[in-house]
A = this chain, B = another copy of it.
Amino acid sequence: MDKLAMTEAVMAAKADKGLTWETLAGEVGLNPVFVTAAALGQSSMPREYGERLAGALGLSGEVVDALAVCPMKGTDQTVPTDPLIYRFYEIMQVYGTSMKEVIHEKFGDGIMSAIDFTLDVDRQEDPKGDRVVVTMNGKFLPYKIW
């Protein structure tokens, strides 16, 4: 079972059972973004978690195997056309150089890891319209001097 078939199986079972990523993530014991990324074939999920996810969805061990495979990550579109995803591209285009300045000022030369990294999506209530809060938390990696 390849990642594509795995994703289809997960999506179909999730829809059939009327489950949410939130609920599934609770059963698995991990963050909903991580669980979704694994289900969409963008992260590998260790077997102990994969078994809980497959269990919650009533799926076979093949799905557990497929979830554990290290995926070929990323997509085919260089610039995303979906508006929701594009906004993150726009943020990088508009604020990328500013984040670079501020991170270098706070930490010196180096980067925020996108590997030793977590990402949360939260809803913040607001009378003028609720807000999406995306929190990225990555280890600072200083450039090695050699």
Contacts and interface: CB of A to CB of B under 8 A. Distances in A.
Interface of A: 20-22, 30-34, 36-37, 40, 42-46, 49, 70, 72-119, 121, 123-124, 126, 128-146
A116 to B, nearest CB: 5
Contacts of A103: 84, 121, 132
A87 B139 CA distance: 12
A73 B98 contact: no
A28 B95 CA distance: 19
Interface class of chain A by DSSP: mixed
Contacts of A89: 89, 92
Contact of A93 (B21, B81, B117): B81
A143 to B, nearest CB: 6
A113 B84 contact: no
Nearest to A138: B132
Contact of A136 (B91, B105, B142): B91
Contacts of A83: 73-74, 90, 94, 111, 114-115
A146 B94 contact: no
A92 B73 CA distance: 11
Contacts of A36: 97-98, 101-102
